[in-house]
Chains A and B, each alone.
Chain A
Amino acid sequence: MALVGPVALRRRSVSRALLGLVGAGAIGLTALLFTATPFQGVLDFVLVAYLLYVVAQTAVSYAVEGARSARNRLALTLLVSALFLALVPLAAVLIYTVQRGVQAISPGFLTHSMNGVGPLEDAGGAYHAIVGTLEQVVIASVISIPLGLLAAVYIVEYGRGRLVYWIRFFVDVMTGLPSIVAGLFIFAFWVLGLHKGFSGFAAGMALAILMIPIVVRASEEMLKLVPNDLREASYALGVPRWRTIVSVVFPAASAGLTTGIILAVARVTGETAPLLLTAFGFDAIRTNPFSGPQSGLPLFVFSQAGSAFDVAVNRAWAGALTLIAIVLVLTVLARVLTRRNVLA
């Protein structure tokens, strides 16, 4: 005798109309509840209606479709809810920043510095900060991309045994390094210790400390994706190892490497804490990153947002929008390049 009875291939299911009815019922019941009892508040209303809906939907589904479908609907509903909840803060930040930023941004904002702008004046801009951020990020990239990439090549292609274990361990530790510590280190070592003073270069170094582990980990993952078949094919042609890495492994992983590196750049572009103790901030345009304090977009936002005056706070929003725009461009670039990845 079979343990399970014959399986019915056709089964009843809850229609969309019925689901809509359940939803309407949940809202209606909540409304009744909120008029009849001391319950109040929009958020409370949404929460109660949602909970009622989830319970009612599961009950209806259980009655009509059976236990398995009811569990499935419940799980799916919770998953979709979690997805929306996760997106809410992200969307809210983005929308609010764009709203406030667009009102405050202007061509003058992008082409003027804060040099000589009085605290109540609705003038000045972030040109000096944009210049500073670009320079600092370029310096950080020039230091960390070659270092990170070469470290990843060592880990994947050459390293064996304990040394690699420790390198990876330290890279992991560095990934979790609080960014202010990177700034503090450069401040103590470079700015004070070597008497070099504040500069964009110091900021670039602090950013590089944060960027190196990200580049290493991203590159490592991409290099590992390159099939061993390709390396062996190259070795079998009598191609030396270094040449194999340069001409076979790198091209195969290039799209992924580029993506990882761009994401690392985007990540440090928004760093504020390390700049506080290294670039320090400066109101005028300073194009030379090697001497004297310099501004940066995150610093600019930080200092303007701390002001008591609306004109300054508006400038902060415009600066935030500019920063998001720069990071967005980099991220989109990374996406486009990933799509061309031959390995993915």
Chain B
Amino acid sequence: MAKRIDVEDLNAWYGSFHAVADVSMTIEPKQVTALIGPSGCGKSTFLRALNRMHEVVRGARVSGQVLLDGQDIYGEGVDAVAVRRSIGMVFQRPNPFPTMSVRDNVAAGLKLNGVRKKSELDDVVERSLTMAGLWDEVSHRLDRPGGGLSGGQQQRLCIARALAVEPEVLLMDEPCSSLDPISTLRIEDLIGELKDRYTIVIVTHNMQEAARVSETTAFFNIAGAGEPGRLIEMGPTTKIFTKPDDTRTEDYITGRFG
């Protein structure tokens, strides 16, 4: 089910501000691809462009192609809502629905899309929570509010919620940046397990994290304030972190940035 993504000449704007310029890359299926780079380099914007979440922001637009197994998600007649169902997303801050129970949070994607059969939903809830490594911790309190869990649990709940709609690709925007080291480790382990089934793209500020979880790393950078972010270099993670081709990558990796 995991699908491959080919990005060609992607540009993204917020109003008149050019945030991402001329990015082309191939994201392999059943792998973890990490996007690294300094703040404001456009990596989150790029990630959001991959499932058409970028255009949710007022005045935001995108040009270029994003091919999901050959089909352009920005092509004519393509429904953004359908795109987001096959390309799930986990956000930086855990954002469970505060009015819903743990169970309803996980089932939300299906329920809000009209699935009503309880037995079916219960199956999905258990399967998704198990995949997210949360089932044992919450199975006895599925009816309690999702907001009552700890930060790390909430983030895994959000991952379970994303998995429940059975996407082909999972995009993660700094999923561990608001979590403690132990919760971070759990989520990183989880990412390792999930990559057998999904194409995973993760944005992170933490270079050790990128080194730990990803097979491929892409380095983004900006030339200066107000300039658009660009893809500098992309390659196998070990290569990017040991002998990158570009000196800018090397400066960033080794901490000689700026």
Contact = CB atoms under 8 A, between A and B. Distances in A.
Interface stretch (B51-59, B200-208, B222-230): B51-59
Interface string B158-200: 1001100100000000000000000000000000000000000
A237 B93 contact: no
A235 B98 contact: no
B231 interface: no
B109 interface: yes
A237 B108 contact: yes
Interface string A223-248: 00001011111111111100110011
Interface residues on chain A, size class: 20 to 34
A252 interface: yes
A248 B97 contact: yes
Nearest to B109: A237
Interface in A245-295: 247-248, 251-252, 254
A236 B98 contact: no
Contacts, number: 78
Interface in B86-113: 86, 88-89, 91, 93, 95-100, 108-109, 111-113
B112 A237 contact: yes
A158 to B, nearest CB: 11
Given A237-B165, A238-B85, A247-B112, A232 B99 contact: no
A236 B84 contact: yes
A160 interface: yes
Interface residues of B, number: 30
A254 B97 CA distance: 14
B112 A243 contact: yes
Given A232-B53, A233-B91, A233-B158, A238 B98 contact: no
Contact of B99 (A160, A233, A239, A251): A251
A239 B113 CA distance: 6
Contacts of B86: 238
B200 to A, nearest CB: 15
A236 B147 CA distance: 19
B107 to A, nearest CB: 10
Given A232-B53, A248-B97, A342-B98, A238 B91 contact: no
A201 B91 CA distance: 51
Contacts of B111: 247
B16 to A, nearest CB: 16
A160 B113 contact: no
Contacts of B112: 234, 237, 239, 243-244, 247-248
Given A160-B58, A243-B112, A247-B112, A236 B89 contact: yes
Contacts of A233: 91, 95-97, 158, 161
Interface of A: 160, 227, 229-240, 243-244, 247-248, 251-252, 254, 342-343
Given A230-B97, A238-B84, 13 more contacts: A229-B95, A233-B96, A235-B56, A237-B161, A237-B165, A238-B113, A239-B108, A239-B113, A244-B112, A247-B112, A254-B99, A342-B98, A343-B98
Interface of B: 51, 53, 56, 58, 81-86, 88-89, 91, 93, 95-100, 108-109, 111-113, 147, 158, 161-162, 165
